[in-house]
A and B are shown apart, each in its own frame.
Chain A
Amino acid sequence: MRIEKCYFCSGPVYPGHGMMFVRNDCKSFRFCRSKCHKNFKKKRNPRKTRWTKAFRKASGKELTVDNALEFEKRRNMPVKYNRAIWDKTVEAMKRVEEIKRKRQARFIMNRLKKGIQLKKEEDIVEVKKNIHLIKAPHAGKAKQLEAKMVQKLQEDVDMADEDL
């Protein structure tokens, strides 16, 4: 039993799912669902169809070159079963997966950093332009003016007292 890769979207094809198409030049194509199959029949290029993994890798939106990705590779020479090897492999596999996920996440985070910067700038502009929607320009000003006037009157009174 093997979990294959869909030719179009690079998603997993579990046993009992999907379709396989064999062309006259003996190349076989597996599809995970009819969406991918239909797109293939329409001759769409997966490297140009935005939602596929092939596009994401080709346009640099996902981690492509990394040592952690070299572990999972289809090998053509089968290895005889040996419990020790299998145990070690399973453990190593779990660790490699962890590291791989971390690295992929970090890559995407770095890519999205620019967006945070832009958002900050947008916020500043927004506040500058449209503050009037939530706060009237004279919001606290009336009280301030009153306080000022009171202060001024008080000063005048004081000055008058002094003069006297």
Chain B
Amino acid sequence: MSLYNFKKIMVVPTAKDFIDITLSKTQRKTPTVVHKHYQIHRIRHFYMRKVKFTQQSYHDRLSQILTDFPSFQDIHPFYADLMNVLYDKDHYKLALGQINIAKNLIDNVAKDYVRLMKYGDSLYRCKQLKRAALGRMCTIVKRQKSSLEYLEQVRQHLSRLPSIDPNTRTLLLCGYPNVGKSSFINKVTRADVDVQPYAFTTKSLFVGHMDYRYLRWQVVDTPGILDHPLENRNTIEMQAITALAHLRAAVLYVMDVSEQCGHNLQQQLDLFNSIRPLFANKPLIIVANKCDVKMIAELSEEDQKIFSDLTAEGIIVIETSTLTEEGVMKVKTEACDRLLVHRVDNKMKGKKVHDVLNRLHLAMPAKRDEKDRPPFIPEGALTRKKTMDVDAPKRKTERDLEMEMGDDYILDLQKYWDLMNEEEKTDIVPEVWEGHNIADYIDPEIMKKLELLEQEEELKEKAGEYDSEEESEDEEMQEIRVLAKQIREKKQLLVATSKEKDIHGPRMPRTTTKVERAKLEKEMGGLGLDMTDKDDSHYAQNARRSRSVTKKRKRDVSVVPTSKTRSQSASRPPRDQSGLRDATMVKKAKIMMKIGQRDMIRQGKKGEGDRHIYDLKPKHLFSGKRTNGTNDRR
């Protein structure tokens, strides 16, 4: 319960912010408009409201701070002690006390000024009173600046404390710095505590969780403890001591056999003896770590004696190496078992057990006959249980492969496929062919069906279904076809020519136009008649007899004055020769001119600037069926 609240403490604002927030809130949430000519009770009410509102805001926020921060009586003594170690109980209580005092002072100020406001007789006076009230309240809060800062820091640190449940099954690691406590917790749980060669890498308590026998266990890693009396200990060591003192846990005292931590075995033994009183009533195991460097058997006589003394006293010593992982599981199982036994014993000694025991009854079935009926446990369950106790090496995962291969790694899930032939796993499976899905054709009986189809096909071919039908057309039919085609073409031509005429105005009948002799002869010649030698035909004679066209009289050519213009034209070179040196240049210039005009002429434009589009909706783009594709050009 106490763990939960630490994260829910509201932010403690700095003094300046607190004042700003409250004052702006007052301005926003209370009416702002008041005039001199209002009735006096209205003016008084207006300013009293502001004072009371400010007082209310401060009061609320400060009370919230006071209730949010845990009191030392309300929380578990482990946390109380831890907080004392980290934040100093006195300072903490003082800060909260100051806040309380500030709250009361603010209330008093508001009360006084509201009382005074009742006697304010003008807007100006009421306003000054309100100003004074707010000013005093804000000064009170300003004086609490240091308390508020301290409380904010405490809050931030509190919310980051590890959530250790003091009542559940816990393993506690302690020992000198650098002996291997953090490595141990990293191996046994999923925690990722920093492991570094310098002392005091772990500066606070860390929690890891592990599973054993279907139960959840906490493993608590402490900072290293040095051997000096309690009074000389600093905050970091005190955290470890607090944990040792308050948590009912199995203690794992870690020793460094190889003395790499910088302290020899005798010093470690001395430390052990000095904190021994803290291990009373707790299952104890001594973990002789770093045995890959040096085993106990390799030690000198005196050092071995230390260990033999400890075992003689009845304390279990287990050799481990967090590097090679030997002995780690043994420690875990041993510690967990012993703690469980210890807890069960305690519970049995307590009072609550009897209530439960009275209600429990284990029923044993009476034997029917002499046949032996042992409980059946399938083999798989036994093997699984074994692997649960001793973590079997897990199979190599893809992630491990990825880490090994680094940049060369390619995810290839096809290698896990379950196929009949192993070599086919790396095949590229075709999926599509020419717009058809191959998966649609896959059928175990496809060959049989294909056989049937081929037979059908053969039969059909034999029956002559696929013969291309060329009806032998006789010559007459061919001729008719050719003639018909010519007729159609001629018809189209006639229609086209008549459309081209585009006559505006009154239409003259066909007979008014004179038929020219050459045209008549050409047309009739096209139709197959023989038109040579028709000079004495009727139409030719008629043509001669009609009045010959009289030519117009030629106008007299007037004499053009030559004096001025000729001289000008002689002195100025003509435009197409000016600026050009020789004949080749003239030629080239002409060619360039023609090239420049070529596009314009081809598109039928009047000039460079002619952008007129004659046909905004050309028929060929807008007519016809719209199948797949674009209609921008067809």
Contact = CB atoms under 8 A, between A and B. Distances in A.
Q: Do A and B come from one complex?
A: yes
A134 B487 contact: yes
Secondary structure of the A contact surface, majority rule: helix
A133 B494 CA distance: 10
A90 B438 contact: yes
Contacts of B453: 67-68, 96, 99
B439 interface: yes
A92 B447 contact: yes
Contacts of B119: none
Interface stretch (A23-31, A53-61, A122-130, A155-163): A122-130
Interface string B429-463: 11111111111111110110110111011000000
B432 A3 contact: yes
Contact of A35 (B419, B454, B457, B626): B626
A1 interface: yes
B433 A90 contact: yes
Which of the four size classes fits the interface of chain A? Answer: 35 or more
A108 B60 CA distance: 90
A82 B419 contact: yes
A33 B490 CA distance: 44
Interface in B578-632: 625-628
A127 B424 CA distance: 70
Given A33-B628, A83-B421, A83-B427, A134 B436 contact: no
Given A106-B466, A134-B486, A134-B487, A140 B436 contact: no
A38 B454 CA distance: 43
B564 interface: no
A91 to B, nearest CB: 9
Given A3-B432, A96-B450, A139 B442 contact: no
A127 B436 contact: no
Of B469, B483, B494, most A-chain CB atoms within 10 Å: B483
A131 B491 CA distance: 11
A96 B451 CA distance: 11
A66 B482 CA distance: 40
Contacts of A90: 430, 433, 438
A88 B441 CA distance: 10
Contacts of A97: 434, 436
Contact of B529 (A35, A85, A122, A142): A142
A102 interface: yes
B442 A89 contact: yes
B528 A126 contact: no
Given A3-B435, A99-B453, A136-B524, A72 B419 contact: no
B488 interface: yes
Contacts of A83: 421, 424, 427
B484 interface: yes
B481 interface: yes
B441 A93 contact: yes
Contacts of B450: 92, 95-96
A143 interface: yes
B477 interface: yes
A126 B479 CA distance: 13
A75 interface: yes
Nearest to A82: B420
A12 B427 CA distance: 27
Contacts of A92: 441, 446-447, 450
A51 B487 contact: no
A16 to B, nearest CB: 13
Given A86-B429, A92-B447, A93-B436, A123 B452 contact: no
B446 A89 contact: yes
A10 B435 CA distance: 13
A78 B421 CA distance: 18
Contact of B441 (A3, A71, A133): A71
A116 to B, nearest CB: 8
A78 B450 CA distance: 21
A130 B432 CA distance: 57
B535 interface: no
A81 B480 CA distance: 63
Of B452, B456, B484, B625, most A-chain CB atoms within 10 Å: B484
Nearest to B483: A127
B446 A140 contact: no
B442 A99 contact: no
A34 to B, nearest CB: 12
A80 interface: yes
A114 interface: no
B559 interface: no
A102 to B, nearest CB: 7
B457 A71 contact: no
A2 interface: yes
B456 A67 contact: yes
Interface in B411-434: 417-421, 424, 427, 429-434
Nearest to B471: A116
Contact of A135 (B444, B457, B527): B527
19 contacts: A67-B452, A72-B436, A75-B442, A80-B418, A81-B419, A82-B419, A82-B420, A86-B438, A89-B442, A90-B430, A96-B450, A120-B477, A127-B483, A130-B491, A134-B490, A136-B529, A138-B529, A139-B527, A142-B530
Given A71-B449, A72-B440, 5 more contacts: A71-B441, A83-B421, A96-B441, A123-B480, A134-B490
3 closest residue pairs by CB, A with B: A139-B528, A123-B484, A136-B527
